[in-house]
Structure 1
Amino acid sequence: MSNKTPKFTVVGAGPGDPDLITIKALKALASADVVLYDALINEDLLKYASNAEKIFVGKRKGCYAYQQEQINELIVSRAKSHGHVVRLKGGDPFIFGRGAEEMQYAAQFGIQTSIVPGISSSYAVPAYQNIPLTKRGDSESFWVITGTTKSHKLSKDVYLAAKSNATVVILMGMSKLSEIVSIFTKENKEAMPVAIIQNGTTDKEQSGIGTIQTIEEIVFQKKLSSPAIIVVGEVVHHKKKLASVYQEVKEESIH
């Protein structure tokens, strides 16, 4: 048993680029006795926890290093035996990240808990592709929806979002792409722009841009797969418009 006070901090690592982590998150890592980290975090960040025991608890292609119940137990046992446990999660742990569930579990054992928010992939990944989620004249709001619910089905909110004029961001939805396309098609939105961004903000980033009508073919041609983010909305055009403006200015400066 450690003589340190058991403490549990859930830390958002950001969307992939290691520079997109907060100073507060780095301070938490520096003070960690144990770091439990996920598959989607950039492992370069682990160097900031130089004195900590580091345990990989993520999943890769459906293979779990630990089941969620085991992770919960590990949080509690390591906090009691070592002191400060940091749970390092991709993006923001409160956006489809089970951060709240893990904090609730630890609190039941009298462990002090806290959260360090992270930059969410839901808006940072599109931003790296010059796609804003809101833009005057194009979109006044946005939905962020999980493509895979607890029951492994597409969220019913996609049906509601497809009826709106908002930008729709779907995380963990690549396996449901055909279903998503079908829902938007039924709302007569075949021409709606779509962007799919794989491994966003990392050096492995790939993307495909099309419409509801063409996106499945583009995904097939470019061999895009998970982890990827799906963005549906007029704001997707901003990337092309920006490039066009830049090109015009460049050509004028040459002449």
Structure 2
Amino acid sequence: MKPGKVTLVSAGPGDLDLLTFRAAKAIAAADVLLIDDLVNSEIVSLAPRARAIRVGKRGGCRSTPQAFITRLMRRYAQQGRHVVRVKGGEALLFGRAGEEMSELRRAGVEVEVINGISSGFAAAAGLGVSLTHRDHCPGVIFVTAHLRDGTSPDWPALARTGMTLAIYMGASRLADIAAALSGVLPVQTPAAIVEWAGTTRERRVVATLDDIARLAGAAGIVSPAVILVGGAIGEASCDADVLQDAHELSRRA
């Protein structure tokens, strides 16, 4: 029997036109698709001969257990199938790819990774900012808002780096994050939150650390969303209607 393999495909932030050619080719060649919850459901149209299985995983929601997903990948690959694990955004960024690769390699299963566009970059593109603008910062830090044990990162230490912060999975903790960062950074430090970045559902609020949580709450911004903090975010060139919406929210709040 021909040995199977697993390909971890980065599906990008949502819209299918943000897939790479390599990702689209891998999906078309799949025997089995395991699709994450945040992946565009239309992606199955690119794999007409594959069996599609949805294995949703979202914070705060009922999710498919990680161990079950890994067993599915291993089982189908050992049956000689080409398994494509389709992950939202960039597979190697907050997607548990490390755990999956380790388990599959221990089982003797070949693993390939195809990179893609993370929602942090899509959020920056929507705002019209460079995350590493040389006038404002020496780099960017991608960080999750909650660690594996449920605790938070060391926000003051991150604030002291002078880097742009791209914070994932933090919409529900925005007020606490902003307060912690404000212990080090000026309260007028530019900040933004972008919901459904890189999709037709994208919404943005641009503000400062002292009012980002209030304005995001007034706008009804919820997960999935990316929070961006730092001087570089002050370069945002939002559309006129977005700026007007932010002004109106500020007035009401």
TM-score when scaled to structure 1?
A: 0.89
Report whether the alignment pairs 1:166 with 2:166. no
Partner letter of residue 48 of structure 1?
L
Task: Identify which of 61, 74, 77 aligns with 1:76.
Answer: 74
Aligned to 1:148: 146
Report whether the alignment pairs 1:106 with 2:104. yes
The separation in 1 between residues aligned to 2:113 and 2:237, in whole angstroms, is 37
Verify the 8 A CA contact 2:156 2:183 in the aligned structure 1.
Answer: no
Secondary structure of 1:235's counterpart equals helix
Matches within 5 A, 1:52-63: 52-60=50-58, 62-63=60-61
Aligned to 1:38: 36
Point out 4+ residue stretches in structure 1 off by more than 6 angstroms.
none
CA RMSD in angstroms, aligned pairs only: 1.7
1:39 positional shift: 0.7
The separation in 1 between residues aligned to 2:29 and 2:135, in whole angstroms, is 46
Report whether the alignment pairs 1:17 with 2:15. yes
The separation in 2 between residues aligned to 1:172 and 1:55, in whole angstroms, is 24
Report whether the alignment pairs 1:199 with 2:196. yes
Secondary structure of 1:26's counterpart equals helix
The separation in 2 between residues aligned to 1:188 and 1:128, in whole angstroms, is 24
Aligned residues: 240
Aligned to 2:47: 49
Secondary structure of 2:226's counterpart equals strand
1:241 positional shift: 8.6
Verify the 8 A CA contact 1:33 1:82 in the aligned structure 2.
Answer: no
Partner letter of residue 58 of structure 1?
G
Verify the 8 A CA contact 2:127 2:237 in the aligned structure 1.
Answer: no
- Cα separation, partners in 2 of 1:66 and 1:82, compared to 1, 3 Å: farther
Verify the 8 A CA contact 1:154 1:176 in the aligned structure 2.
Answer: no
Secondary structure of 2:16's counterpart equals coil
Aligned to 2:26: 28
Partner letter of residue 212 of structure 2?
I
Larger gyration radius, structure 1 or structure 2: 1
1:131 positional shift: 2.0
Partner letter of residue 15 of structure 1?
P
Aligned to 1:248: none
Verify the 8 A CA contact 1:57 1:64 in the aligned structure 2.
Answer: no
Verify the 8 A CA contact 2:196 2:224 in the aligned structure 1.
Answer: yes
Task: Identify which of 198, 212, 222 aligns with 1:215.
Answer: 212
Partner letter of residue 49 of structure 1?
A
- Cα separation, partners in 2 of 1:235 and 1:47, compared to 1, 3 Å: same
- Cα separation, partners in 2 of 1:242 and 1:141, compared to 1, 3 Å: farther
1:188 positional shift: 4.3
Matches within 5 A, 1:118-133: 118-133=116-131
Secondary structure of 1:66's counterpart equals coil
Secondary structure of 1:19's counterpart equals helix
- Structure 2, unaligned stretches of length 5 or more? 241-253
Task: Identify which of 225, 230, 233 aligns with 1:233.
Answer: 230
The separation in 2 between residues aligned to 1:85 and 1:242, in whole angstroms, is 41
Verify the 8 A CA contact 2:59 2:169 in the aligned structure 1.
Answer: no
- Structure 1, unaligned stretches of length 5 or more? 244-255
